[in-house]
Structure 1
Amino acid sequence: MNAMPPPLPTSHSRGWWSRHWKWAVPLLSALLLALFAGVILLFMSTLLGMMKSSDAYQQALREAKANPAVVQALGEPIEEGWFMMGNISVNGPSGKANLQIPISGPKGEGDIYLEATKSAGQWNYSTLLVRVDGSDRPIDLLPAQTQ
């Protein structure tokens, strides 16, 4: 008697997705989340970079670093913080700025507050002061004749 073995069950060939979806879905989700976060960070850093390169920002920072009362309160070197708040709107030779710029030194921290308008290419400050953390008295950075 020559008995033939029963035929082997045929394996149904499953596709790649049906074999690997359990780890592919979390991985793709994490990649999409990382991509979204990267786009947001790129947008924020570009926006902050543009604001930090503005004349109003740079001039306010120079004034604070050159002011003896600010240097005495914060120490040297005075460094600007990474994240600032406010807005700048410039349209050719005119514009407006309203900013809060964090600064710090070896002795403490504070914020520069500025409000300015730009006319004929020149920034005119209505407010330019530093508030040092822990102090009730702001340090006015505007020259006496412009107040």
Structure 2
Amino acid sequence: MDNELIKEESWWKRNWKWFVPLGGCLTMIILFVVFIGSVFFGVTNALEKSEPYQVALEKANADGYITEQLGTPIKKDGVIQGNYRWNNGQKSAEIKVPVAGPKGSGLLYVNATGEDEEWTYTEMKLSLDKTAEVIDLMENVEREIAPDNY
């Protein structure tokens, strides 16, 4: 009787045929997801740091009627949507920002164009989700604060 030990092949020699294609495909998928995620968060971060976004959010927080409807503080409540273009000093922004406060939520719209450091706002409004009321933030009109009927 022959009692010789049979030397077993290494893990790599036994499994390379399935590991190489699977590992390569999985690596490509992971790299693609990381790339898309970094682009998404980079664009979102750029929109959040833009002056039109910051000015509109400040105006919403400073408006007494809006703070009565939504509560304070009013903060971003979701993913910013829109376009921000900058080409040879000419810039434009078309942004939609979901916002919310302790009492409610809404959608903030901002359209602006600019040159160098100057911005000209063509539209800045807030649409309240609860009442579907649209409030123009470009008007400097004092609005009467309605009592709560809830």
CA contact (8 A) 2:109 2:123 kept: yes
| Aligned pair partner of 1:112 in 108, 111, 119 | 108
| Aligned AA (1:134) | K
CA contact (8 A) 2:89 2:115 kept: yes
Map 1:21-60 to 2 at 5 A. Answer: 21=17, 29-60=25-56
| Aligned pair partner of 1:125 in 87, 101, 121 | 121
SS at match of 1:107: coil
| Aligned AA (1:141) | L
**Aligned match of 1:99:** 95
Cα pair distance change 1:106/1:12, threshold 3 Å: closer
Q: CA deviation at 1:94?
A: 2.6
Q: Could you tell me the TM-score, scaled by structure 2's length?
A: 0.76
| Aligned AA (1:89) | R
Q: For 2:90 and 2:31, locate their aligned partners in 1 and report how far apart those are by CA, in whole Å.
A: 37
Q: For 1:90 and 1:31, locate their aligned partners in 2 and report how far apart those are by CA, in whole Å.
A: 35
Q: For 1:75 and 1:144, locate their aligned partners in 2 and report how far apart those are by CA, in whole Å.
A: 20
**Aligned match of 1:80:** 76
| Aligned AA (2:68) | Q
Cα pair distance change 1:98/1:11, threshold 3 Å: same
Cα pair distance change 1:13/1:92, threshold 3 Å: same
Q: For 1:94 and 1:86, locate their aligned partners in 2 and report how far apart those are by CA, in whole Å.
A: 17
Q: Which runs of 5+ in 2 are unaligned?
A: 142-150
CA contact (8 A) 2:47 2:80 kept: no
Cα pair distance change 1:140/1:26, threshold 3 Å: same
Alignment length (residue pairs): 141
Q: For 1:91 and 1:70, locate their aligned partners in 2 and report how far apart those are by CA, in whole Å.
A: 34
Q: Percent identity?
A: 24
Q: For 1:144 and 1:57, locate their aligned partners in 2 and report how far apart those are by CA, in whole Å.
A: 19
**Aligned match of 2:85:** 89
> Highest CA radius of gyration, 1 or 2?
1
| Aligned AA (2:90) | S
RMSD, matched Cα: 3.0
Q: Could you tell me the TM-score, scaled by structure 1's length?
A: 0.77
Q: Which runs of 5+ in 1 are unaligned?
A: none
Q: For 2:116 and 2:38, locate their aligned partners in 1 and report how far apart those are by CA, in whole Å.
A: 32
